[in-house]
Structure 1
Amino acid sequence: MNVTVFGATGAIGSLTVAELLERGHTVTAYARNPEKIPDAWRDRVRVVIGQISDAEAIDQAVADADVVVSALGPSMDRKATGLPLVEGTRHIVDAMRRHGVTRYIGHATPAILDPREKPTPTTRLIAFMPRTFMRRAFDEIHGMVDPIVASDLRWTIVRFIAPKDGPREGDLRVGFFGTDKLGFAVTRADIAAFTAAQVDDDTYVGAAPAISN
């Protein structure tokens, strides 16, 4: 499939691109900084350079895509201002609709609840901490995800709590709070592998599974 990845040069995004290539997909990577494009992508990845506010460049990246993957996440920098990813996600969705792309896979934390979940001590904690101490990031992630969940897109939101470096472990717990036993930590490599797997798997369409090692 043709897959467009936003946030493609980030810690999880770059691993997701590698996973998609390994699975035989054709990848378009949207990136802000050309200097972060890995040499390994040469002749293997179509690259579109642009800011997340650049609707025209985003449209170019989404054209001809079968699936859009967003590995974008709010900045944890306390000096950050505004909600740029909310605007950027709106541009992505607008481009998807113009080009007839319906499959969207994104990332979030359990501060976003799956529609079938009930709050648990873990989800309350995960929501309380950013809402209290990182309010801008909390508002941004809700502003990115809530419109997706309310849309008619075939969406999947992959949620995780504590991403860490390390090789893919492959032993994932996947499910929903209040129903399934889930942990906290998960390697970025495993997040990338699970994200890439959703491209041609409809199991979690219209769902926001949480994952952990």
Structure 2
Amino acid sequence: MRVTVFGATGAIGRLVVQRLLDEGHQITALVRTPAKVALTHPHLTVVTGQLSDRDAVERAVSGTDAVISALGPSLKRSTTGTQVTDGTHTIVQAMRARKVDRFIGLATPSLADPQDKPHWKHRVLPVAAGLMFPNALAELKGMTEAVTGSGLDYTIARITNPTDKPATGRIRSGFLGHDKVGSAMSRADIAAFLVAQLTDARYRRAMPVISN
């Protein structure tokens, strides 16, 4: 499968790229700084550009079967602006222009899915995130709404506490108030879940919570 990855030089994005390569996919990655791409591979094409560059984003998604976004906002309290939200809008517009329908990305349980039932995380997490990371929460809301309101065939995995522990292969997924899903999860397992959504139809147009 041909897959375009955004956020390919980040902690989760690098693992997504490696997982895709291990499974034999053809990958295009849009990056600002090609030197940060830690590997070379005949199945990996690097496009240099920023999310604000519509032409570069369109080149990256042209001819692809699916997009995996490992983008996320900065957790620095000093960060301002809507760069990730704006970039996600650009990705969505480019996907529409190039007739690419499948989007797989990340968010947080601070945002609810219609299939959730009432849960303490709905009360606690948005308040905590709003106090500690107000701009990051606003960005996560903006980028999520850009996708869920787009008409694309999306799956957005909600994560709480990514860790650098080794992959376990044990992945819980589901909806708050319905399923027994925890908080912590290794980034390697997050990457595995994202890649698995290329062929797993269970969470089409949904935002499952995932954990180890």
**TM-score category of the 2 structures, normalised to the smaller one:** over 0.9
- 1:2 and 2:6 correspond: no
Give runs of aligned pairs for residues 66-105 of structure 1, distance below 5 A.
Answer: 66-105=65-104
Where does residue 26 of structure 1 map in the other structure? Answer: 26
Cα deviation code 1:92-116 (max 9, x no counterpart)? 0111001100000010110111121
Where does residue 128 of structure 1 map in the other structure? Answer: 127
Where does residue 180 of structure 2 map in the other structure? Answer: 181
| Amino acid in structure 1 at the alignment position of 2:2 | N
Give runs of aligned pairs for residues 116-195 of structure 1, distance below 5 A.
Answer: 116-195=115-194
| Amino acid in structure 1 at the alignment position of 2:45 | R
Tell me the distance in 1 between the aligned counterparts of 2:58 and 2:9.
19
Instruction: Provide structure 2 residue ranges, at least 5 long, that are not aligned to the other structure.
Output: none
Answer yes or no: is the 8 Å Cα contact 2:19–2:192 preserved in 1.
Answer: yes
TM-score normalised by the chain length of structure 2: 0.96
Tell me the distance in 2 between the aligned counterparts of 1:146 and 1:116.
16
Cα deviation code 1:173-195 (max 9, x no counterpart)? 11110011111100000000000
SS at match of 1:81: coil
**Offset of 1:77 from its aligned partner?**
1.4
Tell me the distance in 2 between the aligned counterparts of 1:67 and 1:100.
10
Aligned length: 212
TM-score normalised by the chain length of structure 1: 0.96
Which range moved further: 55-64 or 129-138? 129-138
SS at match of 1:186: strand
Tell me the distance in 2 between the aligned counterparts of 1:191 and 1:210.
11
Where does residue 206 of structure 1 map in the other structure? Answer: 205
Identity of aligned residues (%): 47
**Offset of 1:44 from its aligned partner?**
3.1
Tell me the distance in 2 between the aligned counterparts of 1:130 and 1:166.
24
Answer yes or no: is the 8 Å Cα contact 2:77–2:134 preserved in 1.
Answer: no
Instruction: Provide structure 1 residue ranges, at least 5 long, that are not aligned to the other structure.
Output: none
Cα deviation code 1:145-177 (max 9, x no counterpart)? 012112211000011100000211011111110
Q: Tell me the C-alpha RMSD between the 2 structures.
A: 1.1
